[in-house]
Structure 1
């Protein structure tokens, strides 16, 4: 009997691999969920400052769950249930750890054999005092005088706790000390940007807020080891923007934000996480061009290329989507029927206050360019049940131009991935795309662009 040597060697290697895997200690995460309507629990790992689902499981009849992981990368992980309405449970895992994390109605409770999670739980229980009102504003209505008093008293306690962090794991110790400082800052910033019945004036902020702005921030990549690391950077950028003392225009905002961070890798990762807001390929390329040198990681380069690819069908010169919707008289108007004119489409709704704020500017623009070969189309996103309301608004406000009714977020808005309004789009005389993210009428740049197209 002859034995196939290749198959025999492959079988030996497979057995050896399974044996090695079996010898690796399992990392166990288990617990209970004390919440209504929860049926599932997700475990998240951290990938470049964001939470990415690593595993999921369903709850048993007693609302218990468990994960058994044969191999984990040391670092922070997060556990949450599908009912939401609580902060994700944060834990620190190493291979072979056994951790119990209970998800309670108002927080989490962490215990286990590892010294890292013992200290982390102690910190989390302290931190919840300022984290819950900062992040769970829909269920905690703490107002700013109480929060500011608590925050001021909490800061020295956090500093004292940080000095006591001394587990056998030196890497964890240094990471947690950074996290403690970041946690306090994150909650402090988050609180002032969440809905409250009354908001404080700048002179009512505690002295701590004066220490947040720093000439150099996030100078190493450790912040990316947190599942909300990028959001912390974004919140810091917002805080700096609102408290810089100078007006930052939309065009300057990207450059301003990137200059806040003193680590080039962080700049690149921060840059690509905001690419989803771009709806125009040309605008994307123009804005990112000065900063492409910061795309240092393979993932940041790949994310940029994916966004470019997604916008390719909206590039200048591509054939536009041929919409067709009824006007106030019920007559259908299509893009094709407007051939020979430059077409400006305003996607709006009667309930949208920013949309309504642009109407006077749009009417002025229509009047100034009424002798030009330009069609001004206003495409309402009001729902079908609000047609009468839309017609009444058009009549009351004496809206001019071509008023069309799309019965909600229509195929047109879906095609151009319009999730926020107002959005202005421009198509040329041949029905081809000029831009799917044009300036608003309140911006003089729109008039300049329309004139160039109409007279060109």
Structure 2
């Protein structure tokens, strides 16, 4: 199998090839044309590089790890279950095979990835049942709970096998066994299923999740799902308690508190004054270099995307293949809807959006809906536009990663954005059509003198 290795690191003249690490693999039975490499930073994947798959599905990355620890390869931005972890340090080599949602290490591995391979094999079915709920296997608690109980019972014995000469790995890997099981158990409860358990259906494992000083150090942030686990643990431990100050007491370090605060608060921060309030209230937790960088970038972006700033122009194709730009509608008020066919909350807003269009028919307002469906779902989008007789300007952005989602830092949808006649932002994150406030906002904007 010929593999074209993608060089991730730059300035190769300064880098010893002996220090470079190599990941080779093959993707079987998939429709993807590319694959990406990620580092794990602060408990979430951080993009490093992307490469096209060979005709036989082969791929390769040659890079110098910025740090020893967990990395991941994968192919979908939204579905973190499609990311597959490896442990890499300088000079390591790893080979793997990916078959849709399953991954297998192939051939001789480092001592670290030999252990990680065993853990992957032990937990892979549990991971799939927990993280995938939109498409088959559509697991319910009736098959997930027995699998969770089975894996949990085998994990103590597995932990005794973590005996490499690398003490750093031994510690992180042991911690990972707890974090993974907790995350799969908690995430399962949050996802829509055909059947949902009652509290009395929960298996005993759930009684072991909430403990004092749960995250006594920041090892949780070395795991692929670390950031998400902090959030889901706080929700599970505190229930309906929404006071963020009370939830922060669950965490042991400022870094954990900072990451949790950003995860919970950033989606609500839509203006520069709100950003200033965030820093004033929680700035003490944003002192690490990575967190400080994230906060500074958020502030810079909000400074130009707060109401009154210029909306980003874009050009996407409509359902007939015609290219359409935001600038085509200068002189009109614009309501922009960022959505996807797989997004239940997005589809829930469609009837309200249609009604709003009817009520404002003949007014100087344009309704633009931008689909973020991936290429594999483009036909599904076209069918929904036709079947549901969607009106307004229907555009296809080619995937979730696009100029609009990047500029407005959109991580959750639907997202509704109001733009004035001059192409300036009225609201970068407005109320939804189901909320009367949106109609009032549009009418107020339309009432302004041209």
Could you tell me the TM-score, scaled by structure 1's length?
0.66
CA distance in 2, matches of 1:302, 1:101: 34
Report the secondary structure of 2:36's partner residue. Answer: strand
Q: 2:130 aligns with which of 126, 131, 134?
A: 134
CA distance in 1, matches of 2:161, 2:228: 28
Q: 1:90 aligns with which of 85, 89, 92?
A: 85
Q: 2:291 aligns with which of 300, 303, 310?
A: 300
CA distance in 2, matches of 1:289, 1:175: 34
Unmatched tracts of structure 1, length 5 or more = 1-16, 322-333, 339-344, 363-376, 391-404, 447-456
Pair 1:162 & 2:152 matched: no
CA shift digits 1:80-130 (9 cap, x unpaired): 246989632211112222221111244111143311111111111001131
CA shift digits 1:393-430 (9 cap, x unpaired): xxxxxxxxxxxx964689xxx79958756869899xxx
CA distance in 2, matches of 1:205, 1:407: 47
Pair 1:153 & 2:150 matched: yes
CA shift digits 1:219-278 (9 cap, x unpaired): 32112212332122222233335xx2x453xxx3x4344333121012123333452442
Q: 1:79 aligns with which of 73, 83, 96?
A: 73
**Corresponding residue for 2:257?**
267
**Corresponding residue for 1:102?**
97
**Corresponding residue for 1:342?**
none
1:347–1:379 CA contact under 8 A, matched in 2: no
2:254–2:285 CA contact under 8 A, matched in 1: yes
Could you tell me the TM-score, scaled by structure 2's length?
0.67
Report the secondary structure of 1:32's partner residue. Answer: strand
1:89–1:101 CA contact under 8 A, matched in 2: no
CA distance in 2, matches of 1:181, 1:102: 25
CA distance in 1, matches of 2:53, 2:203: 44
CA distance in 1, matches of 2:200, 2:181: 20
| 1:34-53 alignment, distance < 5 Å | 34-53=28-47
**Corresponding residue for 2:120?**
124
CA distance in 1, matches of 2:245, 2:162: 37
Please say which structure displays the higher CA radius of gyration: 1
CA distance in 2, matches of 1:204, 1:222: 31
Q: 1:28 aligns with which of 15, 22, 30?
A: 22
Report the secondary structure of 1:175's partner residue. Answer: helix
Report the secondary structure of 2:67's partner residue. Answer: coil
Report the more deviating stretch, 302-311 or 179-188.
Answer: 302-311
Q: 2:172 aligns with which of 172, 175, 178?
A: 175
Unmatched tracts of structure 2, length 5 or more = 1-11, 313-328, 340-344, 357-363, 371-384, 397-403, 439-450
Gap change, CA 1:406 and 1:130, over 3 Å in 2? same
Gap change, CA 1:380 and 1:348, over 3 Å in 2? farther
1:21–1:70 CA contact under 8 A, matched in 2: no
Pair 1:201 & 2:176 matched: no
Q: 1:228 aligns with which of 215, 225, 228?
A: 225
2:159–2:174 CA contact under 8 A, matched in 1: yes
| 1:250-261 alignment, distance < 5 Å | 252=243, 254-261=244-251
**Corresponding residue for 2:110?**
114
CA distance in 2, matches of 1:99, 1:426: 49
Report the secondary structure of 1:291's partner residue. Answer: helix
Report the secondary structure of 1:77's partner residue. Answer: strand
Gap change, CA 1:193 and 1:64, over 3 Å in 2? same
Aligned residues: 381
Report the secondary structure of 2:213's partner residue. Answer: coil
**Corresponding residue for 1:400?**
none
Q: 2:188 aligns with which of 186, 191, 205?
A: 191
